[in-house]
């Protein structure tokens, strides 16, 4: 069947289930967003660079859409190429076909600053650069390092991410270090008699020892927090094939910061007492009232919900998934809970695989500062419980349903975000999910997440629930949780466990049901020492998320 390839504006629509969002023109079977970040973030209205490439099976009659050709490899007319240059504000384009045009717009003529148009596509964990359209891979080639024609734009994107990540990581470490304990020199009044003086001196020594143990753990948490940008160096070394990590660091920043080992895998099975989800150290309820109900996570009242898992992965190449166990509302309302990848630490920005029960679809949405754009819609058949997964790998955004890949979209808008989370759509009745999981692609050190636990600790400076973990768990920007636990008096009420990141196999075909995976990245050997793995006496947690800080010893 012949297809029509257009460049034209996105439409602002209002949907009974999703509310308002950006959508392609009616009849679209494939799309690639060419807008800069600000245009994606705008909720409705007009923007001078509100353009996308849209594929339809029937002609569009609206004059706002410029027909490029009716085949990917059909010759582009010179006047059409000139019109595209004017719309997207590019330098002179050399493309001869629609396929070549897309490659130019997403590589050498991309806008790494996202002022006039979208940024360049970046390689996946396996080092391949890809463009997908209509759920088919229409272009791919291996990234060739510093000699690659796309390297100047990719370098700008990488250095921007490094600058932002480093600033946030160092600020986070400073917040954590502000909780260093300084015991008073004379914490106890001087009693009469030598025997009492000896007891007082012992109490002073004990207080100093407790402070030193606490401060050591605070420092370990701070060092982990400030290592996030160095983990990014390791990730880029592997997937970009460039061993000199200074190539990823802006010239005005220190050039001697060494790559750090990649992590991590996080899970939460919600096996704990009923509570607000935000009572656990690892979650922030960004919007809506999330609850832990009978060892599952749930939402109820009508509206959109967001919850961010406040632990950073080591890379923005990662996945998040959740089991949908119970629908809320009637079959036509579509209440549900879905996973989010590349969830920004301070904004409602990320990618989500959102199920639409009313249409029997799984849709991939891009959310930029709270403004939604639909990237694809794929038909599925629900049979609860169902596992929904969103994966971001370079500029490839994939959705999975019960382990089967359902869509692969190319989008270069959101990079750098290393957190994950949940999205929900409530319609009055309770919707439930279970077994949240998030992990880096390309391997790394497995780390256990830290949902709510109870512990017998010597004292507390916070009235919020104590959190802990069964292994050393750390994060940075802006939430950092470092927990160390080996005391026999510490008991966990959660069944949260760690798991090695599972990466699907790399696709070599364009089939929408194929599975895809990335090869592991190679990292250089860091010279930094790992943080202490345990403390035999004290259970200490330092949690920082948003403006909220908790310290427990």
76 and 117 fall within a common domain: yes
Looking at residue 280, its pLDDT comes to 76
Establish if 553 belongs to a structural domain.
Answer: no
What's the whole-model pTM score? 0.78
Report which secondary-structure segment, H or E, holds 351: strand 350-356
Peptide bond into 385 cis (omega under 30): yes
Looking at residue 263, its pLDDT comes to 73
Gap between the Cα atoms of 300 and 431, Å rounded: 6
Looking at residue 526, its pLDDT comes to 38
25 and 56 fall within a common domain: yes
Establish if 167 belongs to a structural domain.
Answer: yes
Looking at residue 199, its pLDDT comes to 78
Q: How many CB atoms lie within 10 A of CB 535?
A: 17
Gap between the Cα atoms of 53 and 131, Å rounded: 13
Alpha carbon 130 to its chain's center:
20
Gap between the Cα atoms of 495 and 485, Å rounded: 15
Looking at residue 82, its pLDDT comes to 95
Report which secondary-structure segment, H or E, holds 174: helix 151-177
Gap between the Cα atoms of 440 and 263, Å rounded: 7
- Give how far Cα 306 sits from Cα of 29, 286, 288, 525, Å: 29, 5, 7, 38
Q: How many domains does the chain have?
A: 2
- Domain stop point among 248, 268, 287: 248
- Domain stop point among 227, 248, 269: 248
- Give how far Cα 265 sits from Cα of 168, 320, 476, Å: 21, 10, 15
Residue of 482, 487, 480 whose CA lies nearest to 468: 482
131 and 180 fall within a common domain: no
131 and 241 fall within a common domain: no
Looking at residue 189, its pLDDT comes to 65
Establish if 205 belongs to a structural domain.
Answer: yes
Gap between the Cα atoms of 210 and 352, Å rounded: 44
- Give how far Cα 64 sits from Cα of 8, 43, 134, 176, 538, Å: 6, 20, 22, 53, 66
118 and 159 fall within a common domain: no
Residue 149's beta-bridge partner residues? none
47 and 108 fall within a common domain: yes
Please give the residue range of the domain that contains residue 77: 4-135
Looking at residue 32, its pLDDT comes to 98
Looking at residue 191, its pLDDT comes to 64
Gap between the Cα atoms of 266 and 450, Å rounded: 9
Establish if 383 belongs to a structural domain.
Answer: no
Contacts of 173 (CB under 8 A, 6+ apart): 222, 223, 225, 226, 476, 480
126 and 175 fall within a common domain: no
Portion of the chain with pLDDT greater than 90, in percent? 64
Establish if 38 belongs to a structural domain.
Answer: yes
Gap between the Cα atoms of 82 and 68, Å rounded: 11
pLDDT tens digits in sequence order for the chain, 553 residues long: 689 999 999 999 998 888 899 999 999 999 999 999 999 999 999 999 999 999 999 999 999 999 999 999 999 999 999 999 999 999 999 999 999 999 999 999 999 999 999 999 999 999 999 999 999 999 999 999 999 999 999 999 999 999 999 999 999 899 999 999 887 666 566 666 667 777 777 877 888 888 889 999 999 889 888 999 999 999 999 999 999 999 999 999 999 999 999 877 899 999 999 999 989 768 999 999 999 999 999 998 888 999 999 989 999 999 999 999 998 766 555 678 999 999 999 899 999 999 988 788 999 999 999 999 999 999 999 999 999 999 999 999 999 999 999 999 999 999 999 999 999 988 777 899 999 999 999 854 433 333 333 333 333 333 333 333 333 333 333 333 333 333 333 333 344 443 333 333 333 333 333 333 333 333 333 333 333 333 332 233 333 333 333 433 3
**Cβ density class 420-433: b for 16+ within 10 Å, e for less:** bbbbbbbbebbbbb
Q: Are 419 and 392 in contact (CB under 8 A)?
A: no
17 and 78 fall within a common domain: yes
Establish if 20 belongs to a structural domain.
Answer: yes
Tokens, residue 311? 């632990």
Which residue's structure tokens are 């190319």? Answer: 410
Establish if 272 belongs to a structural domain.
Answer: no
176 and 117 fall within a common domain: no
75 and 169 fall within a common domain: no
Looking at residue 331, its pLDDT comes to 56
122 and 158 fall within a common domain: no
- Domain stop point among 228, 248, 268: 248
Establish if 118 belongs to a structural domain.
Answer: yes
Q: How many CB atoms lie within 10 A of CB 441?
A: 30
183 and 102 fall within a common domain: no
3-class DSSP assignment, residue 475: coil
């Amino acid at each position: 069947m012949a297809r029509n390839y257009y460049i034209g504006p996105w439409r602002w629509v209002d949907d009974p289930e999703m509310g308002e969002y950006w959508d392609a023109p009616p009849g679209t079977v494939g799309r690639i967003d060419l807008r800069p970040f600000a245009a994606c973030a705008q909720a409705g209205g007009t923007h001078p660079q509100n353009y996308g490439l849209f594929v339809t099976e029937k002609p569009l009659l609206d004059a706002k859409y410029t027909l490029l050709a009716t085949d990917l490899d059909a010759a582009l007319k010179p006047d059409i190429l000139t019109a595209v240059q004017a719309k997207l504000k590019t330098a002179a384009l050399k493309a001869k076909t629609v396929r070549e045009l897309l490659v130019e717009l997403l590589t050498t003529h991309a806008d790494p600053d996202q002022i006039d148009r979208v940024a360049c596509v970046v390689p996946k964990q396996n080092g391949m650069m890809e463009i997908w359209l209509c759920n088919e891979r229409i272009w791919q080639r291996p990234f060739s390092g510093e000699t690659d024609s796309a390297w100047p734009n990719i370098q700008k994107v990488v250095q921007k991410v490094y600058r932002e990540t480093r600033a946030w990581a160092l600020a986070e470490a400073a917040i954590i270090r502000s909780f260093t304990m300084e015991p008073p020199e004379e914490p106890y009044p001087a009693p009469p008699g030598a025997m009492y003086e000896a007891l007082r001196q012992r109490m002073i020594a004990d207080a100093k020892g407790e402070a030193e143990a606490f401060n050591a753990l605070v420092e370990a948490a701070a060092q982990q927090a400030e290592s996030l940008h160095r983990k990014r160096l390791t990730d880029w070394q592997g997937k970009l094939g460039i061993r000199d990590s200074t190539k990823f660091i802006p010239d005005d920043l220190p050039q001697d910061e060494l790559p750090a080992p990649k992590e991590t895998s996080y899970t939460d099975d919600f096996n704990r007492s009923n509570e607000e989800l935000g009572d656990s150290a690892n979650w922030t309820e960004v919007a809506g009232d999330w609850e832990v109900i009978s060892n599952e996570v749930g939402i109820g009242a009508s509206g959109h919900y967001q919850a961010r898992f406040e632990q950073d992965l080591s890379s923005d190449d990662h996945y998040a998934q959740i089991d949908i166990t119970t629908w809320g509302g009637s079959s036509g309302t579509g209440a549900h809970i879905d996973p989010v990848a590349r969830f920004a630490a301070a904004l409602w920005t990320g990618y989500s695989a959102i199920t639409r029960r009313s249409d029997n679809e799984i849709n991939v949405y891009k959310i930029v500062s709270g403004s939604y754009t639909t990237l694809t819609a794929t038909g599925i058949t629900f049979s609860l419980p169902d596992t929904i997964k969103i994966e971001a790998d370079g500029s490839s955004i994939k959705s999975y349903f019960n382990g089967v890949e359902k869509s692969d979209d190319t989008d270069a808008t959101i990079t750098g975000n290393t957190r994950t989370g949940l999205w929900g759509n409530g319609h009055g009745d309770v919707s439930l999910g279970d077994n949240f999981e998030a992990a880096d692609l390309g391997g790394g050190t497995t780390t256990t997440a830290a949902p709510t636990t109870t512990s017998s600790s010597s004292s507390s400076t916070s009235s919020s629930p104590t959190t802990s973990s069964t292994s050393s768990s750390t994060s940075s920007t802006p939430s950092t949780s470092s927990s160390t636990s080996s005391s026999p008096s510490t008991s966990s009420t959660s069944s949260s466990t760690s798991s090695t990141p599972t990466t699907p196999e790399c696709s070599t075909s364009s089939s929408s049901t194929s599975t895809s995976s990335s090869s592991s990245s190679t990292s250089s050997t860091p010279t930094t020492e790992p943080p202490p793995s345990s403390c035999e006496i004290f259970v200490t947690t330092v949690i920082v998320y948003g403006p909220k800080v908790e310290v427990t010893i």
